[in-house]
Chain A
Amino acid sequence: MDIWLPENVSTFGQGVDNLFILIYWITLIAFILVTATLIAFLILYRHRPGHKATYIEGSTKLEITWTTATTVIVFGLALLSYPQWNRIKSPTELPPADVVVEVSAKQFNWDMTYPGPDGEFDTEDDLQLENQLHVPVDKIVHIRLTSVDVIHSFFVPNLRLKQDTLPNRFITVWFEATKPGRFEIPCAELCGFQHSGMLGYLTVHSQADYDAWKAERWPPQ
């Protein structure tokens, strides 16, 4: 049984995983230190007849030490996180798109709209597929997210990507898949009685497969 992060298949996912692992080690070490100290104190300073507790009211030096140490660690962690966050979510750092797909969430499906060969939405060659997202590998894909009813959340665990969808608003997220394959797109925000089971599929094609898929959907005239 796999009890760690699932396989990552996006370019920015490694950055997320690295931060996760960094925090994992920081918190693990902090936990071990605190718990070991706690247990040691409980054993060393258990009540024994004839032993009196020592009257200690505190220590300003220690207070300053651990305040400073914690502040430095959390600020350091925050500084390391800013670039990753901006890279994934900042609208100003959005890389130019190779492929754009509009994903509209509704109770309880993902409607994927492809602009077709003309690259424009709301034209005759648009193609709408339910719960099927097809994209090429190693290309920048933009997803224009929206919703027709309530809030849903577009979650692709293997891409380390999650974004809520809002009714009447378009939010663009991007990713670049690094590996062909088929991955699940669950809804991660409670959206109604069939929230559980609201599920789409991301198919990442190799370039050749993707071209074939396109040719099948939009036969050359």
Chain B
Amino acid sequence: MQDNENKSHENDNDEHHLPANGDNGTESHDHDHDHDHDHDHDHVHDHDHDHDHDHAHNHEESFISKYIFSLDHKMIGKQFLLYGLIMFFVGGGLALLFRWQLAYPERPVPIIGASQQYIDDGEVVTAADRMWEKIFDSDKEEWLEVNMPSGVIEPAFYNMLFTMHATIMVFFVVVPILVGAFGNFLIPLMIGTRDMAFPVLNMLSFWLAVLAAIIMTAGFFVPGGHAAAGWTGYAPLSADPQWTGVDWGQNLWAISLLIQGFSSLVGSINYITTVINMRAPGMTFFRLPLVIWSLFIVAILLLLAFPVLSSALALLIFDRLAGTTFFSSTAEGGGDPLLWQHLFWFFGHPEVYILILPGMGIASEILPVFSRKPIFGYHSMVYAMITIAFMGWIVWGHHMFQSGMQPGLGTFFMTTTMLIAVPSAIKTFNWLGTLFRGSIRFTTPMLHGIAFVSMFVIGGLSGIYMANTPVDIYIHDTYYIVAHIHYVVFGGSLFAIFGGIIYWFPKMYGRHMNDTLSKIHFWLTFIAFNCTFFPMHILGVGGHMRRISNPMQYEFLQGFQGINIFITMSAFTLGFAQLILLYNFFWSMARGKVAEKNPWNVTTLEWEAPTPVPHGNFAQIPTVYRGPYEYSVPGEESDWIPQAQPEHAPATGGD
């Protein structure tokens, strides 16, 4: 009887506002009253009254207020998703360019490299040339000649490519999608409220991010080219234009990240306030779905970590533009290049957890749903995330073992870093425990969830090598670390992102993504991903340095050319596979199978809202009666009990 997902609780809503253990019921109870939207005058703010279910549709919205300067958390979430996906293709394209150079050093890049003829004859010869000409007009020749003379990637351009690949992927893809898109879309829906605490700040957060992305992209076209000091921007290379020849590119890089920092800051304040104050009645902290826990923890990390990067960037800009010497020990003035590294990594390591924790959260939603089982060890999952977040603050020195930092500190940081293996292992074992004696359905989101777990295991285990100071002496700054970060951030976060997109797509756009295309995309990505990044471990063990543009310059790397070609081929396949996702995403938005309200039979609140979700989300604010993972409860006919279903459903009787 409870398998009817439309099972409504309106009839007995009045009797059930607060369950006995609703320890934060008071805050939750009155949140509706502070929740005045300028654009939603017809909201009925008191959830104890029955009111017009179509209230959101009464209000005419202009195109601009609905799709562009939207205050609706769902629209802002979708905007962030689109933003992240566009930047994902920019960042990925940059990677393919430098992968070409690594496989075929000093050979012209195909298609773009055909412009050689253009440069020689001054004639438009290929479609690519016509495209380039349109984009750059008369500057085109000059731009290509500087960066890719004869179609070959210049070493300086190579440095810009990998610098911007990492910068874009970290700051403009993974964080905006995980935190911006999923955070915005899911938090109000899953905690049972109508919108974020500060909708205007929310909009500001998105448009600041757009501004940051425009500035970051513009950096490619300023004289001197873009930032070329790595995404870590180590001073003094980044602090003085004379060392790289990059002038405004590096400035724009710093300014763009400062703005992105403001965007994150505003967003995180919003998330924290919303989660603390606006949970539906009965939604205690320990009834929060794990993805909300992860986003809540990440918001706190962002709030505390990003200002550290912002201050470092401000000092960097002073060094570059105002002649200060915070990061320079050669000039008079008493700065120190290691100061940058301490500041950067004090931000940077929590940032790494910002990149992975929401992925863990998404996996923790997907696995129980498609195993039809409660998550194994809910409380230890929460404590493990909190532990990871705390320990993330005391491990930054492991990026600096070989930097000249006092080696005694290395001993301390090795110990703390190794200890992070403990909560990570707890999480992995709990995911396995979730599958144990389940009833596993291999839907596409589930495939991504399982891939997340297995890839995260590889990424986690390979981290132990770098955490170990003596071994790190050898593999530091080699492809071993490149393999590790990609197993964590691509194998981990991106598989979670793909899974999350497919899983929540029906709620976001009211339609399903095409399952055949999704499955093809999954298998191609899974195989090509492993073929791309697993061999990098082998390169790393062989001593292959990262950030070199031509391995053939070294005798000891001659034997690795074959592996480099194989990696490049796999990377191109991986890139191609993402086009399937892109096509499927847009095609399904318009043409996909129409989704019902709760297609996966999920217990959490976002599936209580109608599809498509109207402004204000819920006809009535739901009341929460139980934890988020009540699947296959013994004695129940249905294998799932929604969080919002009252304790004693009329059909099952009661006292």
Q: For B436, list chain A residues within 8 Å (CB).
A: 41, 45, 56
What 0/1 readout, one digit per residue, does chain A (17-38) give for beta carbons within 8 Å of chain B?
0011001001100110011011
Q: For B439, list chain A residues within 8 Å (CB).
A: 45-48, 51-53
> By the criterion CB–CB under 8 Å, are B338 and A166 in contact?
yes
- Known A55-B374, A55-B631; contact A89-B421, beta-carbon cutoff 8 A: no
> By the criterion CB–CB under 8 Å, are B410 and A190 in contact?
no
Q: For A171, list chain B residues within 8 Å (CB).
A: 404
Say yes or no for A174: interface residue by CB 8 A criterion: no
> By the criterion CB–CB under 8 Å, are A53 and B437 in contact?
yes
Q: For B476, list chain A residues within 8 Å (CB).
A: 162, 188
From residue 56 to 70 of chain A, which have CB atoms closer than 8 A to chain B? 56-59, 62-63, 66-67, 70
Q: A201 to B208, alpha carbons, bound, how many Å?
A: 49
> By the criterion CB–CB under 8 Å, are B425 and A81 in contact?
no
Residue on B nearest A145 in the bound complex, by CB? B404
> By the criterion CB–CB under 8 Å, are A167 and B236 in contact?
yes
The segment from A113-121, A129-137, A153-161, A203-211 that touches chain B is A153-161
> By the criterion CB–CB under 8 Å, are B377 and A59 in contact?
yes
Residue on B nearest A182 in the bound complex, by CB? B555
> By the criterion CB–CB under 8 Å, are A41 and B435 in contact?
yes
Say yes or no for A95: interface residue by CB 8 A criterion: no
B375 to A: closest C-beta gap in Å = 8
A192 to B: closest C-beta gap in Å = 6
> By the criterion CB–CB under 8 Å, are B236 and A162 in contact?
no
Q: For A149, list chain B residues within 8 Å (CB).
A: 236, 243, 330
Say yes or no for B470: interface residue by CB 8 A criterion: yes
Count chain B residues whose beta carbon lies closer than 8 angstroms to a beta carbon of A. Answer: 95
A148 to B: closest C-beta gap in Å = 8
Say yes or no for B419: interface residue by CB 8 A criterion: yes
Residue on B nearest A42 in the bound complex, by CB? B440
> By the criterion CB–CB under 8 Å, are A193 and B228 in contact?
yes
Q: A136 to B458, alpha carbons, bound, how many Å?
A: 42
Say yes or no for A144: interface residue by CB 8 A criterion: no
Point out the residue from A20, A45, A190, A199 that lies within 8 Å of B474, measured CB to CB: A20
- 28 residue pairs of the A-B complex, CB under 8 angstroms, read A4-B542, A19-B471, A20-B471, A31-B457, A41-B438, A48-B439, A52-B632, A52-B639, A53-B438, A58-B376, A62-B433, A63-B380, A63-B426, A75-B415, A81-B414, A85-B414, A88-B470, A150-B236, A150-B243, A155-B543, A162-B476, A163-B404, A166-B337, A187-B545, A188-B476, A193-B155, A193-B244, A197-B553
Chain A residues within CB distance 8 Å of chain B: 1-6, 15-16, 19-20, 23, 26-27, 30-31, 34-35, 37-38, 41-42, 45-48, 51-59, 62-63, 66-67, 70-71, 74-75, 77-78, 81-82, 84-86, 88-91, 107, 148-151, 153, 155, 157-158, 160-169, 171, 184, 186-197, 199
Chain B residues within CB distance 8 Å of chain A: 154-156, 158-159, 228-230, 234, 236-237, 243-245, 328-330, 337-338, 371-374, 376-380, 402-404, 407-408, 410-411, 414-415, 418-419, 421-422, 425-426, 428-430, 432-433, 435-442, 450, 453-454, 457-458, 461-462, 464-465, 468-471, 473-474, 476-478, 538, 541-543, 545, 547-550, 553-556, 559-560, 562, 631-634, 639
